Structure 1
Amino acid sequence: MLKRYIWLAVATVFFTFQMWVGNANALDLSPETRTLPLNAEGDTVVLSLKEIKKGQKVFNDTCAQCHALGMTKTNPDVNLSPESLAFATPPRDNIEAMVDYLKKPTTYDGFIEISEFHPSLKSADIYPEMRNITEDDLYDVAGYILLQPKVRGEQWGGGKYLR
């Protein structure tokens, strides 16, 4: 019985420590870290701390069930790493492109529209979690997704991409 309590205490300390170091506090993020690509033309934007927090909430509530830590449960070969997003057709490596994808998702090669298989604004009738998502929410979650490689490093996307 005592062993059980010791293991419980050790596990509690371990998981508390992981939560503490695993999640970067938005207050610790410098403007340079929060600077992300806005569009394919090379414009950038500095996300506010409020946008990051909102993006994190929307991601955790709506996306994380299939994309925990930037991986994709339904297709482990495609993740949310910068490289995977950049090599998609069209590229999804900036906020505007990611928002466009979240409105009208397509396969990785861009040939087939997949809104009946991937939550999107277009498929809100099939995916109830998308019914209350606004344009601002899409912007915030896209920014959050693009920020994570800067915060989590190779942990984001399952460590399958090269630096």
Structure 2
Amino acid sequence: MKKQISFMHFVLGLCAIISCSNTSLAIDLDETTRTIPLDSSGSTVILTPEQVKRGKRLFNASCGQCHVGGVTKTNPNLGLEPDALSLATPPRDNINALIDYLKNPTSYDGSESIAELHPSTKSADIFPKMRSLSDEDLFAISGHILLQPKLGGEKWGGGKIYY
């Protein structure tokens, strides 16, 4: 019994350390790192530490099942890395474009709606996790997607190469 308690304390302590380090990570990121493309005209926005934390939490809860590490499980050749996002039609490499996608997803070439296949607010009746997401939540999720390449480098979205 004593070993189990010690092990549990170790695990709880480790969880506390990880939790604290994740919380401080968002606060420790400088403004340059938190600066993300806002729209296709080149405008940028600086994510707040709260948006960084919220985006990570919401992404993991709503998107992480299919996009762990920025990979797309249904198509590992197409991830959420900047190059793939910029080559989509229309380009999805900024906050506003990703929000639009999360509301009305289209195929990579932009030719058809995939709202019945990909979670979106448009298809919230099919994908319940999307029902409660506000525009602020979609903004935070989009910010998380665009911030990750700055933090994880080419591993984010690297697909089958890394995972």
Say whether the fold is shared (TM-score over 0.5): yes
Q: Distance in 1 between matches of 2:52 and 2:147?
A: 9
Specify the SS of the correspondent of 1:147.
helix
Aligned residues: 146
- Post-superposition shift, 1:27? 1.7
Overall identity of the aligned pairs, in %: 53
Distance 1:160 1:81 in 2: 13
Distance 2:107 2:79 in 1: 13
Give the CA RMSD over aligned residues: 2.2
Cα drift, residue 160 of structure 1: 7.5
Q: Could you tell me which amino acid in structure 1 is paired with residue 130 of structure 2?
A: M
What residue in structure 2 maps to residue 5 of structure 1?
none
Q: Match of 1:9?
A: none
The superposition leaves residues 26-84 of structure 1 with CA deviations (integer Å, 9 ceiling, x where unpaired) of 12210000001000011000000011111111100000000000000001111000000
The equivalent residue for 1:50 is 50
- The Cα offsets for residues 71-116 of structure 1, whole Å up to 9 and x where unpaired, read as 0000111100000000000000000000000000001000010000
Structure-2 separation of matches of 1:91 and 1:72: 17
Give the Å deviation of 1:154. 1.4
Residues 48-127 of structure 1: matches in 2 within 5 Å? Answer: 48-127=48-127
* TM-score of the two chains, using structure 1 as the length reference: 0.83
SS of the aligned residue for 1:45 comes to strand
> Which residue in 1 is equivalent to 2:149?
149
CA distance in 1, matches of 2:125, 2:92: 24
| Distance (whole Å) between structure 2 residues aligned to residue 30 and residue 116 of structure 1 | 39
Q: Alignment partner of 2:65: what SS?
A: helix
**Structure 1 residue aligned with 2:136:** 136
> 2: distance between equivalents of 1:160 and 1:88?
20
Tell me the alpha carbon deviations over residues 127-152 of structure 1, each in whole angstroms, 9 at most, x when there is no partner.
Answer: 01111111100001000100000011
Partner residue, 1:34: 34
Q: What amino acid is the match of 2:48?
A: S
Question: Structure 1 counterpart of 2:53, which letter?
Answer: K
Measure the CA separation in 2 of the matches of 1:118 and 1:29: 31
Consecutive aligned runs of 4 or more in structure 1 exceeding 3 Å deviation? none
